[in-house]
């Protein structure tokens, strides 16, 4: 009998076909109350699972006693219980690399939109309120030749630094678990203590993975370290920031503005104060959301799942020790 695989997020047809050639598929386009029972029933026989944006915790994994491999169509894997996966020897494949430039592009878009007030000005114009040459009350601030402070200097951080330094002449400072000499050489970047980065940056960009030590790492005290003119960008995970502290900082002028792709709760509840703040540019977790990149991510996740289920070591493992 062919292995059974549960697909819990719609895949591009070509990727679904690659799986269907080898495995018996049960497919869902996202899991909700209407299909949850069918999803649980499918997990009971599943040897593989693939999808995105689902909390895969110990109770869920307990519903999949035959599971041998999982793949997530994302670089982040914070929604998975890695301890349980490791204890059961289940490899989790993810999709680093193929989304790096796409996410970096969105970071620049958020920086530019927040600094130049693109969204506010667009709303003003579309409301028919452009009746005379705009005055100072609508002016923005420059991005070029300002200081970019990166919290996290991984692949995406380096792609943002490249754009900022070579494209906008920005000075790049950063804090990371370790200095990154290649970034220092390529972008003149300087590795500094976190508080110094926060205090000196005109743009503070958080690009940290969500790990236990990073939860709410940017809290009220960290916002207080930033310049009052600082623009804060989060394209990592909502939970690395204390969202209530961020809302307070944006409301009382502790910082100037924010560009946000990620939130503590997603989808962001419509009553969130963030949606009422004019100095917030918010987009719904779309860092990697271009057709080409999402296709590439799906292909990479499918590659990983096929490799794992057919006994080959997948190239991108969330927890490499599982396939030592």
Catalytic residues: 237, 266, 285
Nearer Cβ to ligand DGY (189/296): 296
Report the alpha-carbon angle 194-264-215, nearest 5: 40
Q: Which stretch, 28-36, 68-76, 174-182, 184-192, contacts ligand DGY (CB under 6 A)?
A: 68-76
| Binding of residue 51 to ligand DGY (CB under 6 A) | no
Nearer Cβ to ligand DGY (75/85): 75
| Binding of residue 154 to ligand DGY (CB under 6 A) | no
Beta carbons within 8 Å of 32's beta carbon, 6+ residues apart: none
3-class SS of residue 81? coil
The answer to whether 141 touches 115, Cβ cutoff 8 Å, is yes
Nearer Cβ to ligand DGY (147/290): 290
Nearer Cβ to ligand DGY (26/74): 74
Judging by DSSP bridges, how do beta strands 147-151 and 171-175 pair with one another? parallel
Least distance between ligand DGY and beta carbon 75 (Å):
4
| Binding of residue 287 to ligand DGY (CB under 6 A) | yes
Least distance between ligand DGY and beta carbon 285 (Å):
6
Least distance between ligand DGY and beta carbon 149 (Å):
21
Nearer Cβ to ligand DGY (103/180): 103
The answer to whether 52 touches 74, Cβ cutoff 8 Å, is yes
Helices (H) and strands (E) in the chain, counts: 13, 12
Neighbour-count burial of 289, counting CB atoms closer than 10 A to its CB (0-12 exposed, 13-18 middle, 19+ buried): middle
Least distance between ligand DGY and beta carbon 289 (Å):
7
Neighbouring-strand partners of residue 147: 171
Beta carbons within 8 Å of 153's beta carbon, 6+ residues apart: 161, 174, 175, 176, 180, 183, 189, 191, 207
Least distance between ligand DGY and beta carbon 120 (Å):
26
Least distance between ligand DGY and beta carbon 114 (Å):
19
First to last CA, the chain: 28
Binder among 15, 74, 176, 234 for ligand DGY (CB under 6 A): 74
Nearer Cβ to ligand DGY (99/306): 99
| Binding of residue 99 to ligand DGY (CB under 6 A) | yes
C-alpha 290/C-alpha 98 separation (Å) is 11
| Binding of residue 238 to ligand DGY (CB under 6 A) | no
Phi, psi of 72 (to 5 degrees): -115, 135
CB half-sphere exposure, 53, CA atoms < 13 A: 15
Binder among 48, 51, 76, 304 for ligand DGY (CB under 6 A): 76
Judging by DSSP bridges, how do beta strands 257-260 and 280-282 pair with one another? parallel
Nearer Cβ to ligand DGY (154/287): 287
Element (H, E) at 262: none
Binder among 15, 100, 176, 288 for ligand DGY (CB under 6 A): 288
| Binding of residue 157 to ligand DGY (CB under 6 A) | no
Least distance between ligand DGY and beta carbon 204 (Å):
19
Q: Which stretch, 73-81, 116-124, 189-197, 199-207, contacts ligand DGY (CB under 6 A)?
A: 73-81
* Contacting residues toward ligand DGY, per CB under 6 A: 74-76, 99, 287-288
């Amino acid at each position: 009998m062919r292995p059974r695989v549960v697909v819990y997020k719609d895949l591009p047809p070509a990727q679904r076909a690659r799986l269907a050639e080898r495995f018996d598929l049960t497919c869902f386009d996202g899991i909700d109350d209407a299909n949850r029972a069918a999803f649980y029933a499918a997990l009971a026989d599943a040897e593989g699972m693939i999808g995105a944006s689902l909390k895969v915790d110990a109770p869920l994994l307990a519903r999949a006693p035959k599971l041998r491999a999982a793949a997530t169509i994302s670089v982040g894997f914070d929604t998975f219980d890695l301890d349980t996966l490791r204890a059961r020897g289940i490899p989790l494949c993810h999709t680093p690399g193929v989304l790096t430039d796409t996410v970096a592009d969105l970071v620049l878009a958020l920086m530019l939109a927040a600094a130049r007030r693109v969204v506010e000005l667009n709303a003003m114009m579309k409301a028919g309120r452009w009746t005379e040459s705009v005055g100072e009350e609508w002016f923005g601030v420059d991005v070029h030749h300002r200081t970019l402070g990166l919290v996290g200097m991984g692949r995406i951080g380096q792609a943002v630094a490249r754009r900022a330094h070579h494209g906008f002449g920005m000075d790049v400072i950063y804090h990371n678990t370790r200095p990154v000499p290649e970034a220092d050489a390529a972008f003149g970047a300087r590795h500094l203590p976190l508080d110094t980065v926060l205090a000196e940056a005109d743009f503070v960009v958080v690009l940290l993975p969500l790990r236990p030590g990073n939860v709410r790492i940017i809290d009220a005290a960290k916002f207080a370290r930033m310049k009052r003119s600082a623009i804060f960008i989060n394209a990592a995970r909502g939970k690395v920031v204390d969202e209530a502290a961020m809302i307070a900082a944006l409301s009382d002028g502790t910082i100037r503005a924010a560009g946000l792709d990620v939130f503590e709760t997603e989808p962001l509840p419509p009553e969130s104060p963030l949606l009422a703040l004019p100095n917030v540019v918010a987009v719904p977790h779309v860092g990697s959301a271009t057709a080409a990149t999402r296709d590439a991510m799906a292909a990479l996740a499918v590659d990983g799942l096929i490799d794992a289920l057919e006994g080959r070591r997948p190239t991108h493992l969330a927890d490499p020790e599982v396939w030592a």
